[in-house]
Structure 1
Amino acid sequence: MKLARDEPNSSATGAILPVKFLCSSGAVGSGIDLPSFREGLARGPDFVASDAGTIDAGPYHLGAGNGAYAYEAIRHDLDILLSEVPRGTPILIGSADTAGGDPHVERTLDVVRDVVSTRKLDPLRVAVIRAEQSKDYLKKMLREGRIRPLENAPHFDEDTIERSTRIVGMMGAEPLQEALGHNVDLVLAGRCSDSALFAALPIKRGIPEGLAWHAGKVVECGTLTCETYRRGTMYGELTQDHAIITPLGRDLRCTPQSVASHSLYENGDPYLHRECSGTLDLTHARFTQHDPVSVKISGSGYIPADQYSVKLEGVELAGYQTVIVGGIRDPFIIRQFDRWIGEVKAEITERVGKLLGNRLAASDWRIDVHAYGRNAVMGGREPKLEEPPHEIGLVVCLSAPTQELATKIAELSRQPLLHHPIPEWSGSITGFACLFNRAYIERGPYWRFCVHHVVLPHDPMEMFRLDVVTLSA
């Protein structure tokens, strides 16, 4: 396997040449700003990259095998990338179609085929890296003691592997570097470290790892790194001792504060960011204003890992859900909301036990109530619970092993929500207004994360399958 520094990028004097790159957008499918993208291409980047996914979207997309962005949105962005980027400038896309499993990679590859065919483009050489893991492989690694839990990881054993719908490994820079070594026009990767998309080629060409990984961390979310988020393109230039990050687009500007603060985004530690091969260390990083819109980064370090590791992301089917959406504006209910909703849930539980108890154990179903306007966003951390709202929006979520049972529980929930009494009422009063008619919506299957572990592979490539294909019109 070709490792990080097998392709020097040096001048006749032996000096390492700068590496220039573009981040086309924060995610494939989120939209590419064509004028600023063309402005970036005019600067002659050595590669163009874009992340296409995230675990932030939750477990559903990994379980269901489809992505968060519409087909049309993905096609729009891929059409621009494949039509505008000149051949000889590689394009890297990682975490295909949100979750980066095999179905997500295939769906994205189908879009690429469609663009090449419709546009009648020259033959396109594509490296496809699949990140979905074989259950037999994971069981073998577990038996060898090569799967380790991360902090607050759930219980994990062979039964966990077997009942998982899908498990992916989050690749680092090495599979991308291997793919680039095959002289391809496009690297299409499954689940992937966001920063690795931007670090792989610079490290391969001799740029210090700390700077390469840090630049990737800064730009992978696109213009979120700027003072104010607007449409645009991020341009970067890396040398031996610094990186310069420049936003391209109307009214976009980076400052030392905006760039440094992005290091906090999605990270528990502001200084140490773990990757497969080591840890990005920002302890001594410096951020200075290079020009009115650009920031210069220096001092970023990298601590090689004692043992290479690959993070696993896996999901299992948790059941099916039906939801009821509505609202309460009765001030008497709102004043005693906790007591009222507690009594409603107790009445629903009693009715379910009486009418469905022969089909449904108490531990097999649950009712979750989200009270918008009160504490639905912050939950127990809400600081203003003593300030009564004038109305509360309720989302009542009923979860069960089958869709039929979830819906039956919803049907049994409607009446208590509508008419459960309070002492201040005389006679029969309706205190809950349903948003829809019929009152409930079948949400379908839902998944939960069941893996928060790392694998210690024998080789950085063994968990990832690399194929090179040529697509033509």
Structure 2
Amino acid sequence: MDSISYLSPTGVLGVGFSENHFLAAIASRDLAFIGCDAGSTDGGPANLGGNKPFFSRAAIKRDLRILVTGARSINVPLFIGSCGGSGGNWNLNWVWEIVQEIAREESLHFKTAIIESEVPRETLIQKYRDGKIKALDPAPEIDESVFKDADHIVAMMGAEAYVAALEGGADVVLAGRSTDAAIFAAVPVAKGFPAGLCWHAAKIMECGGAAVVTMEKPEGMICTVTQKDFTLEPVSPQQQCSPLSVAAHALYETADPYRMLEPGGEMDLTNAQYEAVDERRVRVTGSQFNPKPYTVKLEGAKKIGYRAMVLGGVRDPVILEQFDSWFGGLQDHISENIEAVYGESIRGQYQIDYKIYGRSGVLGAREPNPTIGNEVGLLMVTLAQTQEIAYAIAGQAAHMVLHHSVPQWEGLLSNLAFPIAPHFWSLGEAYQFVLNHVVELDHPLELHPIRYEDI
């Protein structure tokens, strides 16, 4: 085989893409498969911990209908990775239910592989005892209790799971938590194309058409891999790739733009070269892949309580001139007020996270220019063991900040402008990630069982 081409319709399932561009692409190109990433940790740990989908059912079904019917119309495999946002078993089965519904409505018949990624706790405990779970930087201190107490733990599968599903005869592969690039590297690597090119291309393709010069809306990308290079071409005729736009993608979601770890090895982009084929397409050469012991990343989420929040804006220039002293005194008074209501035993049983937008609200301590303009937005998020207490503390904090004084003003003050009524509200269950680790595997499919279902 001289080359292999495949399509990524969008950066994440459910965000949407143009159906007409997608249909034109699958009709005009000889594709080996269609792949789409469906997950992320961008939304935090609640998707995994609380069995929550990343996007609405309607949005997922819309995109899936186009992909499933399109893939079956040209008889190529469809890969969906990290189903339901987090790839947990609940999320995976949620997507499986939608696929079955689409198949019934469209009168389709095909074989589906469902690959789970939630790991049995006893397996992880044994791996931990055997010294096969290693911390990534920065990782929290853990012991065996983390594997017992976490609500859900997933292991990010590599490319081998997708290959195995195809070898089992699957037309549609629904995978639990997966590395994004594994979705797109699996088939080209299995077909014998250079691993460095395959993995580098996959890292770009998992974001759909994001490596274009200007991404006005989510669209797709077609990749063609040969023994010497890979070429990227946007699906939308209105979009273009440039050497800069493609090379810049190595800066996205990476700590090191030259070296990126995947199960079984490390991408090395040190010698990658980017050149324009024409005004829309870019060719890449020189990417390498260095084999390493086979490890997969673990993601674990645990419920830590309930949250509520307050949001308002401060515009008073007198307060802003002395904001640090005013804000420091405010926090002390909020703490005193909460203890007056609940007693000293409440200490250590709640938290309030303060974000000051307009001064270091985004970067925090890393902000190089921590100055205040003519207004700031104040976000206060409370955390407690019950929703009732979290909500009550948010209400008390809101009232305290509203009337917290400065020496220059006399009488009752109103310092905070609330954009929404009611001005404090409950956020529900709160979760945190409890693992930043990898686990060494004896073989790539050790933690990822595959079952097959005929529709």
TM-score, structure 2 as length reference? 0.96
CA distance in 2, matches of 1:211, 1:411: 55
Match of 1:437 in 2: 421
- Counterpart-to-counterpart distance in 1, 2:398 and 2:440: 51
1:57 and 1:98 in contact (8 A); partners too: no
Cα distance in structure 2, aligned partners of 1:17 and 1:184:
24
Shifted more, 243-252 versus 19-28: the winner is 243-252
d(CA) in 2 for partners of 1:294, 1:35: 20
- 1:212-270, Cα deviation, whole Å (9 max, x unpaired): 11110111111110111134320111111111111121321111111111012111111
Which of residues 381, 388, 391 in structure 1 aligns to 2:366? Answer: 381
Listed as ranges, the matches of 1:57-72 within 5 Å are: 57-72=43-58
CA distance in structure 1 between the aligned counterparts of 2:245 and 2:59, rounded to whole angstroms: 28
Inter-partner Cα distance in structure 2 for 1:329 and 1:272: 46
**Which residue identity does 1:105 align to in structure 2?**
L
Percent of aligned pairs sharing the same letter: 35
Rounded to whole Å, the distance in 2 between the matches of 1:378 and 1:467 is 44
SS of corresponding position for 1:251:
coil
39, 47, 52: which one aligns with 2:33: 47
* Post-superposition offset of 1:87: 5.1
* Partner residue in 2 for 1:288: 275
CA displacement 1:97-151 (0-9 Å, x = unmatched): 1111001101100110111111222x12101001011111111111111111111
Matched residue type, 1:232: E
Segments ≥4 residues shifted beyond 6 Å: none
Q: Which residue, 234, 252, 277 being the options, matches 1:247? A: 234
Tell me the secondary structure at the aligned position of residue 335 of structure 2: helix
- Residue in structure 2 matched with residue 184 of structure 1 by the alignment: 170
Q: Where does residue 3 of structure 1 map in the other structure? A: none
Contact 1:40 1:233 in 2 (8 A): no
Residues 194, 227 of structure 2: 8 Å contact kept: yes
- Quote the Cα distance in structure 2 between the aligned partners of 1:416 and 1:283: 55
Residue 75 of structure 1: how far off its partner (Å): 0.3
The 3-state SS of whatever aligns with 1:56 is coil
Distance 2:175 2:269 in 1: 27
Which amino acid letter does the alignment assign opposite residue 267 of structure 1?
T
1:326 & 1:259 partners in 2: Cα distance? 40
Please give the alpha-carbon distance, in whole angstroms, between the structure 2 residues aligned to 1:88 and 1:248: 20
Distance 1:87 1:227, change over 3 A: closer
Q: Residue type of the partner of 2:288? A: G
Name the counterpart of 2:336. 350
Question: Secondary structure at 2:209's aligned position in 1?
Answer: helix
Map residues 209-228 of structure 1 onto 2, 5 A cutoff: 209-228=195-214
Instruction: Deviation per CA, 1:276-305: give whole Å up to 9, x if none.
Output: 111111111111111221111111111111
Moved more, 181-190 or 425-434: 425-434
Do the aligned partners of 1:325 and 1:434 also contact (CA within 8 Å) in 2? yes
- In the alignment, structure 1 segments of 5+ residues that lack a partner are 1-15
State the partner residue of 2:7: 22
Secondary structure, counterpart of 1:223 in structure 2: coil
Contact 1:280 1:302 in 2 (8 A): yes
The aligned counterpart of 1:400 is 384
**Residue type at the aligned position of 2:433:** F
Match of 2:394 among 403, 410, 417: 410
> Which of 349, 366, 372 is equivalent to 2:357?
372
- Deviation at 1:359? 5.2
Alpha-carbon distance in structure 1 between the residues aligned to 2:253 and 2:369: 26
2:21 corresponds in structure 1 to 36
Contact 1:210 1:280 in 2 (8 A): yes
Quote the residue 1:4 is aligned against. none
Q: For 2:135 and 2:359, how far apart are their aligned partners in 1?
A: 36
Specify the code of the residue in structure 1 equivalent to 2:389: L
Matched, 1:424 2:408: yes
- How many Å apart are 1:358 and its aligned residue? 5.8
Given the alignment of the two structures, is residue 454 of structure 1 paired with residue 438 of structure 2, yes or no? yes
Take 1:451 and 1:116, find their aligned partners in 2: how far apart are those partners? Answer: 37
- Aligned-pair distance for 1:382? 2.9
> How many correspondences in the alignment?
452
Distance in 1 between residues matched to 2:59 and 2:74, nearest whole Å: 23
User: Which SS does the other structure have where 2:379 is aligned?
Assistant: strand
Q: Which residue of 2 aligns with 1:12?
A: none
TM-score by length of structure 1 reads: 0.93
Q: Deviations over 1:391-433 (max 9, x none)?
A: 2221111111111111221232233112111100112222122
Greater mean alpha carbon deviation, residues 429-438 or residues 458-467: 429-438
Residues 335-376 of structure 1: per-residue CA shift (max 9 Å, x gap): 11111111111011011122212652x122111221222221
Q: Do 2:9 and 2:209's aligned partners in 1 also have CA atoms closer than 8 Å?
A: no
Deviation at 1:272, TM superposition (A): 1.0
Instruction: Supply the distance in 1 between the matched residues of 2:420 and 2:345 (Cα, whole angstroms).
Output: 28
Are 1:203 and 2:201 counterparts? no
CA–CA distance in structure 2, aligned partners of residues 153 and 358 of structure 1: 32
Aligned counterparts of 2:228 and 2:285: Cα–Cα separation in 1: 6
Partner of 1:268: 255
**Deviation of residue 465 (structure 1)?**
1.3
**Residue 298 (structure 2) pairs with residue 298 (structure 1):** no
